[in-house]
Structure 1
Amino acid sequence: MDFRARPGYLRPMPRYALKIEYDGAPFAGWQRQKQHPSVQQAVEEALRRLQPDAPGIAAAGRTDAGVHALGQVAHCDLVKEWDPFRLREALNHHLKPLPVAILEAVQVDEGFHARFSATERRYLFRLLCRRAPATHERGNVWQVAYPLALAPMQEAARRLLGRHDFTTFRSTMCQADSPVKTLDALDIEEIAVPYGQEFRFHVRARSFLHNQVRSFVGTLERVGAGAWTPDDVQAALEARDRAACGPVCPPQGLYLAHVTYPQDPFQA
């Protein structure tokens, strides 16, 4: 006899995975806070318009204040089964006018967990170099007023690849058990823009330390400006000392771009 057919068996609530895009500027980060608005709070309040007693949601990454997302993933449990299209549309209706959008909603197995099932996270950082102030991209890039050199930054980035103790590039507020992480990719591309240049940093790893990506980019920017060399970055890494890190860049250029799972829940 199937144990699920036994008397007293409580059927698990249907679980849904949500792919979420947001502008982080109005929020104090992803995680719910008592006194400041968060993305988690916005999505949970939209869910509770559909089910007043809906439990809290879990996400793949807790982005900081001002950090954006192109593909954040969260999961939620609801009492009734929803058509995924209708769930997405209903949530987007209740999220207006906040800059948060549910790109996809899919029903997943009860064993799926947005955070613990993830095998990789990818971040994008956008750095704009031009003297004229950003207009259309204001709040979506980190802007500096001087040109940067691509090749030295790429060489310095290669020094950071692999498994290392990243204490130098870890916030003192980081709560991770260990500073040892494996960095799988840190690719930098240069894009021509009117009256300037944009550098895009594509960073990939299973997981990251608090402020790790922003510490990387702030340090590599110093290399591009000629103030540091790739050898300086190597020495900073080997120092395993937060004081050896370059400047930590601001959050507005950072995006959680993609989360990878053993089986992509959003792939038809």
Structure 2
Amino acid sequence: MGVEYDGTDFHGWQIQSGVRTVQAVLEEAISRVANHPLGVHCAGRTDTGVHGLEQVLHFETTAARSERSWVLGANVNLPPDVAVRWAHPVPDDFHARFSAVARHYRYRIQVRRTRSALYRSRAVWVHEALDLERMREAARFLVGEHDFTSFRAVACQAKSPVRRVHYLDVVEDEEGLITLRVGANGFLHHMVRNIAGVLIAVGRSEAPVTWTRELLEVRDRTLGGVTAPPHGLYFVRADYPERFALPQVEKTDPLQRLSDD
């Protein structure tokens, strides 16, 4: 399934005791459609407050339902801040996480003098002007295969800090919102939010444009600056081998249009 969610009122993706999570509400809703308990696995777990535009999940079931029935049935049982966008059968060797060959994220920043009521949970507010050219120059150092130790959470459990960033763009849309667009073969815990924090500092001229290169070289998270807040972050999509023939979401909203490479 491809799933969209507003992460504002969730304590992240993963099921946790006593708190509301995306995984928990999806498992409950889909289990009702299947008429048996089931568990779901996603392409990339998100933290508290992080949003999903097309999170991909898979589950195993003995129930026979049409793709339309899975979508409509799940959505009837889901709360308003989660929606299934598509459903598609896959072979037994498919795994939402391990079959993905790339993942894409966006980080949204609103620059204006006063805080926003409409974007309070959808973009990070920065009241100082940001120099986009400085941010773009600093971003170029991060493209390619690098050791991202300085850009991952101290508690990150990934075996290797090496990732290949395919692109990292800084764009401004028609609403005046700045969006960091990034795609890679994989991401470390807090990697995008740490990149965003560094680029915002560079955009404020609080750090040189070469800071990103220097951080790659020192491989020390304690020197990497502030982790940007979660509510500006969106999981956009994951890419899979063509043989799985997963549906492509129609690019009808501004955030999805920004995911075009």
Q: TM-score, normalised by structure 1?
A: 0.89
What is the deviation of 1:106?
1.1
Contact (CA 8 Å) 1:223, 1:229: kept in 2 or not? yes
Question: What residue number does 1:100 align with?
Answer: 82
2:247 is equivalent to residue 266 of structure 1: yes
Question: What residue number does 1:157 align with?
Answer: 139
Question: What residue number does 1:188 align with?
Answer: 170
Write the deviation string for residues 182-204 of structure 1: whole angstroms up to 9, x where unpaired.
Answer: 111111102354xxx42110010
Give 3-state SS (helix, strand or coil) of 1:125's partner: strand
Q: Distance in 2 between matches of 1:267 and 1:236?
A: 36
Contact (CA 8 Å) 2:152, 2:221: kept in 1 or not? yes
Unaligned runs of 5+ residues in structure 2 are: 250-261
2:196 is equivalent to residue 214 of structure 1: no
Q: Distance in 2 between matches of 1:221 and 1:192?
A: 20
Q: Distance in 2 between matches of 1:155 and 1:112?
A: 38
2:155 is equivalent to residue 173 of structure 1: yes
Question: What residue number does 2:118 align with?
Answer: 136
Q: CA RMSD in A?
A: 1.4
Q: Which residue of 225, 236, 240 corresponds with 2:204?
A: 225
Q: Distance in 1 between matches of 2:173 and 2:84?
A: 29
Q: TM-score, normalised by structure 2?
A: 0.91
Question: What residue number does 1:13 align with?
Answer: none
Question: What residue number does 2:178 align with?
Answer: 199
Q: Distance in 1 between matches of 2:248 and 2:17?
A: 36
Question: What residue number does 1:4 align with?
Answer: none
Q: Which residue of 232, 235, 240 corresponds with 1:256?
A: 235
What is the deviation of 1:267?
4.7
Question: What residue number does 1:60 align with?
Answer: 43
Question: What residue number does 1:6 align with?
Answer: none
What is the deviation of 1:55?
2.2
Q: Which residue of 30, 47, 54 corresponds with 1:47?
A: 30
Moved over 4 A (4+): none
Output the amino acid matched with 1:63: T
Output the amino acid matched with 2:228: C
Question: What residue number does 1:78 align with?
Answer: 61
**Aligned residues: percent identity?**
40
What is the deviation of 1:257?
0.4
Q: Distance in 2 between matches of 1:267 and 1:185?
A: 20
Unaligned runs of 5+ residues in structure 1 are: 1-17
Q: Distance in 2 between matches of 1:65 and 1:88?
A: 25
Write the deviation string for residues 46-88 of structure 1: whole angstroms up to 9, x where unpaired.
Answer: 0222235332111000011100000100011121211000110
Output the amino acid matched with 1:200: T
